[in-house]
Amino acid sequence: MSSPKEALQTQLGYRFSNPDLLDEALTHRSVSGPDNERLEFLGDGILNFVIADELFHRRPDATEGVLSRLRATLVNGRTLAELGRQLDLGPSLRLGGGEMKSGGQRRNSILADAVEALFGAVYLDGGFQASRQAILSLYAERLNTLPTERELKDPKTRLQEHLQAVRRPLPRYEVLDVTGKSHDQLFRVACTLQDDQVSAEGEAGSRRKAEQQAAQVMLRRLEGKDEQ
């Protein structure tokens, strides 16, 4: 039965010549001694370049703004944490006692930082092409299913554009309810079309996100009617 580190290298598609680099990439700052923050810094730069280069060639007609938004959907903490879980990174991480007890091996920020550190470690161990190949392999599915320019826009913007295209007034957003303690609130928001008083609701941990959810629900209703 292979160890977590062996399985990790298989998943990553790269085997380290210098295992110390792999150990360093997996070591959180809560552990005394060398940690992965410097490797994370290096990996972040490599990742941004590789993804930018790939997007530049995959979307030759996209504007700078669209390319930036596409990159932001790929190079962010949530996506990197998902990649960390895909690699089953948790069991290989080296964490201090406090972080281990609090479930640090499952925390998005820790997983995301470790993935970037891995990219940096692969670069130092095997060179740029090795790190590029590891990145593109992990991102293959996401790169093959990139969102369209329209899908990149948030629901409120898309709803506004939809209504303006058919010369209808802009919607009104209203907070219906706020529950929970100040550090853990839940907002319930209504999005109302002012010319026929049709409403849709959204719930989220912030007003902005709740408004986006409500706009998304309203947009689906309107687009469903348009298709009928």
Q: What is the chain's alpha carbon radius of gyration, rounded to the nearest angstrom?
A: 22
Give the Cα separation of 76 and 80 in Å (integer). 6
CA dihedral 46, 48, 51, 55 (to 10 degrees): -140
The arrangement of strands across the sheet holding 198-204 comes to 172-179, 186-193, 198-204
Q: Which of 35, 54, 99, 116 is catalytic?
A: 116
Q: Which of 44, 54, 125, 211 is catalytic?
A: 44
Catalytic site includes residue 44 = yes
Is 141 flagged in the annotation as binding?
no
| Residue 58, both tokens | 């995959």
Is 40 flagged in the annotation as binding?
yes
Count Cβ neighbours within 10 Å for each residue of 32-71 and write b for 16 or more, e otherwise: eeebbeebbebbbebbeebbbebbeeeeeebeeebbeebb
Q: Which phi and psi angles does 70 have, rounded to 5°?
A: -60, -45
Is 113 flagged in the annotation as binding?
yes
Catalytic site includes residue 211 = no
Which active-site residues does the annotation give?
44, 116
Binding residues for Mg(2+): 40, 113, 116
Binding residues: 40, 113, 116
